[in-house]
Structure 1
Amino acid sequence: MIETKTNVHLDEMSREEVANYLSETVRPEDGVIPAYIMGDENVNKLEHEKIFMKTWLLLGHESELPNKGDFITRDLAGYSVIVSRGQDGSLRAFYNMCTHRGMKLCRADKGNKGQFTCPYHGFTYKNSGELIGVPLQKDIYGGQLDMEKMSLHNVTLDTYKGLIFGTWNENPEPLLEFLGDFKWYLDIVVGRTEMEVIGPPQKFIVHSQWKIGSDNFVSDSYHTMVTHGSIAKLGMVPNAAYSKKGYQVHVKNGHGCNIGMPNPDFAFPEELIPEYKENLSSDQFELMSNVKNMIGTVFPNLSFLVSHTKVKGKLISNTTLRLWKPIAPDKMEVMTWFLVDKNASEDWKYRSRESYILTFSPSGIFEQDDTEVFTDITQAAAGTLPIVKNFNYNYTMGMHREPVKDFIGPGVVYPDKFTEAGSRNFYSYWLDMMKA
């Protein structure tokens, strides 16, 4: 029987006391994850401060800004930022706030501009951030306004294989180090060839805790047999237990994925095989050639999916990214990008899009399955009953197993996907950050 403290009110605790309480009650190494972390407002506030304001978060994909002057506005830990490709071709990001009186500078989701003009007083900035124009400034400021000091506030930015990451942390762990060994797997998802986003990212609200989405993608293939049981009945997979076959991988910093294999068919454009071999190592290409699905999470809230389905009798893959953006303890905005191999045929891209729409688009059958579950878990965790406050989820699956030693990729690897080692690793890093 797991012992827990009773009659503890987190709303009466300081931040330090909340962190200490988390340290006492969240025990990933024992497979113990308390339900209260999915519904408590003070945990949510501490996450914002300790995790989302400190670590790298996805802002978009470089293919969304192909031309000089292109920009997108995105959310970074609850704050609006402008990501812009300058006239020199470089990507930059700025806090979306005029440095005069704090007005939101740009209200469009995307576009192409060489400069941004504040809709309040008309202060104008280059798309590289410098203040270049102030109405009547010589008259009303006497020529004394220090425009250089009023440049837009920079956001720390870096990219990897087309993925654009930002952080409010002025001295973060370098992105390449943060991703670590997980880059080996990300290469197969977004670096196998030049990738491009088709259409704008889709956004929808789910009344769910954000961690449930990240957790689901970092290690949970077990639910597929039941939650997605209809896919076997529809003949999309041979049987409900197919989701067990493959490997589960995790690395440091909370990243992890499930790799479904083997796959007798090659579900990527065969004409791009020379490109794949050029961009991937021989081991990476071998793994990609045998993958039937690849599902994972980059800590904290970026998940990816490479899924194979049959469309019009032909096997086809689709590649998606999704961001689980917290709004409140019981609400998140889900943002999804659909990517294709840029040099694939138009027919292949069309069929891949059909596969995405059918499965994991906002209206897809699998997405609907998952978000229904996410919502109910969140509602149950938000209760005030003692049985809820002191309830612990069981994350002990696979603790009796030993990882394999001869897998071709890096990380801690288990020989099938039915284990919660990836989730235990995710919550271990989550706890480390919450205590930092």
Structure 2
Amino acid sequence: MATKARYAEIRFNDRPIKEMRANPEALLLEPGEITADYEAKSPWRLDELYPDIARYRAVSVRPFIDADAKAREEEKMWSRVWLLAGVSSDIPDAGDWFRFDIGTQSIIVARGKDGEVNAFYNVCKHRGNELVQEDFGKGATSFTCIMHSWRYNMKGKNVRVTDRETFGPEALCQNLDLTPVHVRDWGGLIFVNMAADPMPLEAYFADLMPMLASYRMEEMHVVKDLTIEVPANWKTMYSVFNENYHAHATHPQIKPYVDDYNVQYDHYRHGHNRHLFPVAVVSPRWPDSRFINVGLAFMMQEAGVKAVGFKGDARHVRRAIQAAKRRPDNVYGMDFSGFTDNQLTDDWNPSLFPNVTLNMHPEGVLLQRFRPHPTDPEKGYHDVMVLSARLGEGRRPPAYMGVEDDVDVSGKVRPPRRRTTHENPQGGEVVEQDIANMVTLQRGMRSKGLNDIIVFSEQERRIQQFLAELDLYLTDAKEPDWTP
């Protein structure tokens, strides 16, 4: 892509890191004056959660290219976990609904007259025709199959079999209601689970819920929505966003104002984890760690901190921005109470097993989801959704999230979902740099030069955890009754 040439001069200009970390997992970012329990280190080390984690430092490429592996995932994993289907703001009123596709399965999520959210498979119980083909709908009172006009109410109950008298008793003795799917509306997010008796959502996400809740996503609204078809396995795509090791080379433009090395790693139960990236601080790879560079000066200006006469150097910018946001008259027009000091600047990046990453800020959240192609193990879908808080006039979510300048971020209009490909991803510079890697990573999986093996560093521990957790499902090591 063009950005490769654009940043050629700074891509590999790294200085040696003076304080190397053999065990990155041990780092705790220094908390500010205002902190919270959810900012602390995870109580579990990765090797405590997965005693055999060393097996996942060198793995076969077969699961990333193999059709049999895809089939096992669909049978043993996708049908048993809580999946992020969408956001609550897309179905605010009775009769609102959206469609969620995952592999070969399609699900309707709808809000009923009682305000409750229901979910059921998107398939008519007559001959299997899909009931809805669109992404979203509003004000529905029922779902009617366009092929033979069978009808279902908003809770999935069959209320019409057209020309019922022409069916024999053997046909009508079947359960003709839509098959329900477990669904939970929590914290502005909507999750579904296709298991017969799933683990409670509160247990599955218990370790991350306090942190997720602190961002108040239920008060945010969608300002960008993309689905990008990529010629890569969903695991290849997901793994690109599950490590910070790539940042200095893939995103060299961030080194003047993001520390990509001194990152807090935390691993949790059920495959979840997070990185906490310090922002408004110079990377230790950057040649000058004290000069207030153009990137830092811009961030100061954005936060209302004057660079002229600033008493300090680059090391003091992060705390100065945090203090500026604490002011009641801050330039964002936001109430930042309820957030820790570090949340006011840093990129908090949790991953929700099996297929979601979030880059979280009080001003907005970049939500990315990775879905398998229905039939091809070497294709997948990269969903990019940006949520924005209610911001002051002229303010927008962080620029790296790729929300175009002409997009209304007030929440008055929900943008339509755009469908595109890796050749024209429309995701913004940072996301597009990552997509370029997805494509070449997947192609390289077929190379004889790999001898079937890829390896992971300790900066890629989140990928190690992801693969270890996935294997628990594929080998039936996860308890069928979902014992917490």
TM-score by length of 2: 0.67
Change (3 A) 1:32 1:105: same
Name 2:223's counterpart in structure 1.
198
Cα-to-partner distance string for 1:215-260 (whole Å, 9 max, x where unaligned) = 2323x1121111111345xxxx34xx72123311111111111111
Equivalent of 2:245, from 209, 214, 222?
A: 222
Residue 426 of structure 1 aligns to a residue whose secondary structure is helix
Unaligned regions of 5+ residues in structure 2, if any? 1-51, 280-317, 405-424, 477-484
Distance 1:67 1:358 in 2: 26
Distance 2:400 2:254 in 1: 13
Distance 1:154 1:370 in 2: 36
- Give yes or no for contact 1:208–1:378 (8 Å, CA) kept in 2: yes
Name 1:334's counterpart in structure 2.
382
| 1:391 is aligned to 2:456 | no
Deviation at 1:300, TM superposition (A): 0.7
Most deviating of 97-106 and 86-95: 97-106
Equivalent of 2:102, from 76, 79, 93?
A: 76
Cα-to-partner distance string for 1:311-363 (whole Å, 9 max, x where unaligned) = xxxxx95421111101132111111211011x333532xx227552269x833
Cα-to-partner distance string for 1:10-39 (whole Å, 9 max, x where unaligned) = xxxxxxxxxxxxxxxx96456222222222
Cα-to-partner distance string for 1:276-329 (whole Å, 9 max, x where unaligned) = 42xxxxxx634423x42122310110111136xxxxxxxx95421111101132
- Give yes or no for contact 1:36–1:382 (8 Å, CA) kept in 2: no
Equivalent of 2:366, from 320, 334, 342?
A: 320
- Give yes or no for contact 1:30–1:396 (8 Å, CA) kept in 2: no
Unaligned regions of 5+ residues in structure 1, if any? 1-25, 278-283, 308-315, 398-418
Name 2:21's counterpart in structure 1.
none
Equivalent residue letter for 2:379: K
Deviation at 1:170, TM superposition (A): 1.2
CA RMSD of aligned residues (A): 2.8
Most deviating of 121-130 and 422-431: 422-431
| 1:429 is aligned to 2:469 | yes
Which structure shows the higher helix fraction?
1
Distance 1:271 1:33 in 2: 49
Deviation at 1:421, TM superposition (A): 2.6
Name 1:6's counterpart in structure 2.
none
Change (3 A) 1:62 1:30: closer
Write out aligned runs for 1:178-257 (5 A).
178-189=204-215, 191=216, 194-198=219-223, 201-218=225-242, 220-232=243-255, 237-238=256-257, 242-257=259-274
Equivalent residue letter for 1:337: M
| 1:151 is aligned to 2:151 | no
Distance 2:126 2:56 in 1: 52
- Give yes or no for contact 2:264–2:277 (8 Å, CA) kept in 1: yes
Deviation at 1:147, TM superposition (A): 8.9
Change (3 A) 1:186 1:335: same
Percent identity over the alignment is: 22
Distance 1:368 1:140 in 2: 55
Distance 1:89 1:224 in 2: 43
Change (3 A) 1:192 1:261: farther
Distance 2:457 2:246 in 1: 15
TM-score by length of 1: 0.74
Change (3 A) 1:184 1:126: same
- Give yes or no for contact 1:60–1:163 (8 Å, CA) kept in 2: yes
- Give yes or no for contact 1:217–1:295 (8 Å, CA) kept in 2: no
Distance 1:269 1:146 in 2: 64
Distance 2:167 2:69 in 1: 47
Change (3 A) 1:157 1:41: same
Equivalent of 2:57, from 19, 31, 34?
A: 31
Equivalent residue letter for 2:445: A
Cα-to-partner distance string for 1:158-178 (whole Å, 9 max, x where unaligned) = 132111111211111111111
Deviation at 1:75, TM superposition (A): 0.6
Write out aligned runs for 1:287-436 (5 A).
287-289=342-344, 291-306=345-360, 317-327=363-373, 328-341=376-389, 343-348=390-395, 351-352=396-397, 355-357=400-402, 362-383=426-447, 385=448, 387-388=449-450, 390-397=451-458, 419-436=459-476
Equivalent residue letter for 2:352: V
- Give yes or no for contact 1:31–1:424 (8 Å, CA) kept in 2: yes
Equivalent residue letter for 1:196: H
Which structure shows the higher strand fraction?
1
Change (3 A) 1:396 1:355: closer
Deviation at 1:182, TM superposition (A): 2.0
Cα-to-partner distance string for 1:360-408 (whole Å, 9 max, x where unaligned) = x83311111111111111111134x3x43x43322242xxxxxxxxxxx
Residue 370 of structure 2 aligns to a residue whose secondary structure is strand
Deviation at 1:136, TM superposition (A): 3.6
Change (3 A) 1:431 1:80: same
Cα-to-partner distance string for 1:168-220 (whole Å, 9 max, x where unaligned) = 1111111111112122332344x366222235x311111112112322323x1
Equivalent residue letter for 1:324: F
Residue 285 of structure 1 aligns to a residue whose secondary structure is coil
- Give yes or no for contact 2:151–2:160 (8 Å, CA) kept in 1: yes
Change (3 A) 1:41 1:250: same
Equivalent residue letter for 2:335: I
Cα-to-partner distance string for 1:54-95 (whole Å, 9 max, x where unaligned) = 111111001000111001111134311111111111110111
Equivalent residue letter for 2:162: P
- Give yes or no for contact 1:41–1:329 (8 Å, CA) kept in 2: yes
